[in-house]
């Protein structure tokens, strides 16, 4: 490199270093950059395929690390075992007015509740359960002679009936009774559905929720440990990981993410970053100041270590070594 070119390079690097040593200047430059950035339109800076590619690679195509799983377990265990849980009641963290609104909302969903009841009473597991309950109740009624104790004159009749039943095979009785119940269960199911719906009207559902709330609201948060066991966390968190590991690889979720990004971009591509921040309730001024507090020390470290000056010198040396600059300096 020519002597004059080297002198110019050194002078430029020294000048830039002096500028960079001015913290106020660095702070102002950062603020000006942030102001410029927030006024840019989303569509002028990003494209949906770039956003989708980032999400696909960083979230869907990347397995959750074992270290992250351990951190999740540790934080849940820490929250469950926190000493404040024993002195903090449930109603201190859950607003009673919100709980009441939720209860009213659930109680008002009559059609949804009745559809759920219909699905329940027509389920094969419910049919089998109710058949067993009715069958066992009839057998207990006969075996214990309840009717003979309540109705005068029925004792001798029940003895005759019992002796007849005893002569019959228990298996035959069970089979016949079960067959009869299954044959007539559509009637029993319809009756069951009607009775459940009559019992669980809107008012009853609301008051059941209110009773449940009043039964738990004064309990300490530490009671949660009775239902979420710390020693089970490796297993339960592990199951959650398995669910996510399968879900993230499905075509369904990948398509949902791609379509969601495209839909969001279509709605907001002409919006500025400032508007997007406001829409998601992020204070732009607060974010700017917080980012400044985070980023400026990094920039100052780059300057203090000489890294920034080194990189500036590297590119300026290439500039002054270029044929175009050599020709200018030779004139």
Which whole number is the average pLDDT over 123-145? 79
Which whole number is the average pLDDT over 290-318? 91
**In total, how many domains does the chain have?**
2
Sign of CA dihedral 277, 282, 285, 288: negative
**Residue 92 vs residue 172, higher pLDDT:** 92
Q: What is the largest CA-CA distance in the chain?
A: 134
Q: How confident is the model at residue 155 (pLDDT cuts 50, 70, 90)?
A: low
For residues 210 and 247, membership in a common domain is answered with no
Sequence-distant (≥ 6) Cβ neighbours of residue 20 within 8 angstroms = 26, 303, 308, 309
Rounded CA-CA distance 195/118 in Å is 12
Give the domain-ending residue among 219, 251, 273.
Answer: 219
For residues 201 and 294, membership in a common domain is answered with no
For the stretch 176-210, pLDDT in tens is 777 777 777 788 888 889 999 999 999 999 999 99
Range 150-185 burial, b when 16+ CB lie within 10 A, else e: eeeeeeeebeeeeeeeeeeeeeebeeebeeebeeeb
Give the domain-ending residue among 189, 219, 249.
Answer: 219
**Residue 70 vs residue 182, higher pLDDT:** 70
Range 293-326 burial, b when 16+ CB lie within 10 A, else e: eeeeeebbeebeeeebbeebbeebeeebeeeebe
In the 8-state DSSP scheme, what is residue 89? B
For residues 96 and 204, membership in a common domain is answered with yes
For residues 273 and 323, membership in a common domain is answered with yes
Residue 304 forms part of a structural domain: yes
For residues 51 and 110, membership in a common domain is answered with no
Torsion angle (degrees, nearest 10) of CA 32, 34, 40, 44: 110
Residue 86 forms part of a structural domain: no
Give the domain-ending residue among 186, 219, 252.
Answer: 219
For residues 171 and 243, membership in a common domain is answered with no
Residue 230 forms part of a structural domain: no
Instruction: Give the structural domain span for 179.
Output: 92-219
In the chain, % of residues over pLDDT 70: 89
Sequence-distant (≥ 6) Cβ neighbours of residue 66 within 8 angstroms = none
Which segment of 115-124, 242-251, 262-271 scores lowest on mean pLDDT?
115-124
For residues 137 and 99, membership in a common domain is answered with yes
Residue 83 forms part of a structural domain: no
Which segment of 171-185, 212-226, 230-244, 295-309 scores lowest on mean pLDDT?
171-185
For the stretch 19-55, pLDDT in tens is 888 889 999 999 999 999 999 999 999 999 999 999 9
For residues 154 and 212, membership in a common domain is answered with yes
Flag whether pLDDT at 277 surpasses 70.
yes
Sign of CA dihedral 201, 203, 205, 211: negative
Q: How confident is the model at residue 330 (pLDDT cuts 50, 70, 90)?
A: confident
Residue 18 forms part of a structural domain: yes
For residues 97 and 214, membership in a common domain is answered with yes
Flag whether pLDDT at 161 surpasses 80.
no
Flag whether pLDDT at 149 surpasses 70.
no
* Residue 185 structure tokens: 């269960």
pTM, 2 dp: 0.70
Supply the DSSP string of 121-184, one letter for each residue.
HTSHHHHHHHHHHHHHHHHHHHHHTHHHHHSTTHHHHHHHHHHHHHHS-HHHHHHHHHHHHHHT
Residue 8 forms part of a structural domain: yes
Residue 209 forms part of a structural domain: yes
Asked if residues 230 and 77 have their Cβ atoms less than 8 Å apart, the reply is yes
**Residue 162 vs residue 249, higher pLDDT:** 249
Rounded CA-CA distance 209/166 in Å is 48
Q: What is the pLDDT of residue 114?
A: 96
For residues 96 and 214, membership in a common domain is answered with yes
Rounded CA-CA distance 31/289 in Å is 9
- Specify burial of residue 186 (Cβ count, 10 A radius: 0-12, 13-18, 19+): exposed
Which segment of 175-189, 290-304, 316-330 scores lowest on mean pLDDT?
175-189
> Average pLDDT, whole number, for the chain?
88
For residues 176 and 267, membership in a common domain is answered with no
For residues 205 and 114, membership in a common domain is answered with yes
Flag whether pLDDT at 260 surpasses 80.
yes
Residue 228 forms part of a structural domain: no
Flag whether pLDDT at 156 surpasses 60.
no
Flag whether pLDDT at 240 surpasses 60.
yes
């Amino acid at each position: 490199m020519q002597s004059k070119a080297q002198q110019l390079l050194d002078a430029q690097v020294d000048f830039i270093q002096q500028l960079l040593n001015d913290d106020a200047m660095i702070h102002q430059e950062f603020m000006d950059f942030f102001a410029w950035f927030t006024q840019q339109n989303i569509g002028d800076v990003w494209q949906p395929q770039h956003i989708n590619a980032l999400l696909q690679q960083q979230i869907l195509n990347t397995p959750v690390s074992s270290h992250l799983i351990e951190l999740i377990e540790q934080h849940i265990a820490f929250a469950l075992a926190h000493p404040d849980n024993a002195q903090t009641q449930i109603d201190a963290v859950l607003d009673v007015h919100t709980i009441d609104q939720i209860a009213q909302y659930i109680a008002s969903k009559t059609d949804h509740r009745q559809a759920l009841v219909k699905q329940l009473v027509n389920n094969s597991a419910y049919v089998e359960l109710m058949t067993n309950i009715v069958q066992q109740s009839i057998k207990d009624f006969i075996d214990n002679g309840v009717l003979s104790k309540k109705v005068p004159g029925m004792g001798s009749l029940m003895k005759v009936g019992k002796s007849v039943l005893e002569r019959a095979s228990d298996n035959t009785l069970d089979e016949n009774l079960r067959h009869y119940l299954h044959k007539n269960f559509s009637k029993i199911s319809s009756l069951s559905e009607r009775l459940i719906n009559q019992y669980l009207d809107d008012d009853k559902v609301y008051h059941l929720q209110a009773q449940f709330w009043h039964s738990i609201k004064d309990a300490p948060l530490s009671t949660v440990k009775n239902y979420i066991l710390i020693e089970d966390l490796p297993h339960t968190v592990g199951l959650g990981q398995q669910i996510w590991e399968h879900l993230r690889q499905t075509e369904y979720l990948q398509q949902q993410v791609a379509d969601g990004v495209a839909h969001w971009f279509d709605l907001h591509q002409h919006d500025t970053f400032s508007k997007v921040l406001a829409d998601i309730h992020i204070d732009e001024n607060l974010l700017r100041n917080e980012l400044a507090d985070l980023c400026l020390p990094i920039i100052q470290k780059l300057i203090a270590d000489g890294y920034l000056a080194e990189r500036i010198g590297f590119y300026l040396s290439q500039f002054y070594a270029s044929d175009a600059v050599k020709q200018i300096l030779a004139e």
